[in-house]
Amino acid sequence: MAQEHLRRKLIEYVQNVHALEQNVLLMLDAMILTTDDEEIREILRQHKEETRLQEQRLAERRTALGGVGLASMGKDLSAILVAQAKGAADLWRSDKPVQNARDAFVTEHLEIAAYEILERLAERAGDHETAEVARMNRAEEEAMAQRIAANWDRFLDLTLAKAGVRG
Ligand SMILES: [Fe+2]
């Protein structure tokens, strides 16, 4: 019985994280469109490919676990998604490299936290495949967060250049 509860909770979490990744794909598209710097755009493009695969892995786990749609999407994550969608809309208007970088950095850490939790829940529910997907996806998010963190000066330079200010 406890195991069945864990399983149901796990399905809910897999669906939540899947929805998160779908939203991240949209965010990455918005960021790619509002980034002029070719090197940064390439980093974003690569992560979009990674995110597509992450999304697919989660979709496979959702199917394997017998989950359906997004009917049980948690309130917390929904609120985050709405906030993110708003953030993505802001990006279209603002086109500010540091804002893009900040939002991308926050999003990667939101994903890292989601995968830390998903991995542990999956292990407790005895689902090692989902735990492995969570670990794999998290490693990619951590690498992306590091790539962003390695470029703070570049983001600032780009923003200042746009504003016509020398840093
Ligand atoms: Fe990511």
Q: Does domain 2-162 have CATH number 1.10.3300.10?
A: no
3-class state of residue 152 by DSSP: helix
Distance 48 CA to ligand 1 centre (A): 8
Instruction: Measure the CA–CA gap between 148 and 108, rounded to whole angstroms.
Output: 10
CB 22 within 8 A of CB 56: no
User: What is the pTM assigned to this prediction?
Assistant: 0.81
Does an H or E element contain 35, and which? none
Distance 27 CA to ligand 1 centre (A): 10
Give the model confidence (pLDDT) of 3-25 as tens digits: 889 999 999 999 999 999 999 99
- Has residue 77 got a pLDDT over 70? no
Instruction: Measure the CA–CA gap between 62 and 36, rounded to whole angstroms.
Output: 37
Distance 141 CA to ligand 1 centre (A): 5
Write down how long the chain is: 167
Closest alpha carbon to 11 in 73, 82, 56: 73
Distance 37 CA to ligand 1 centre (A): 20
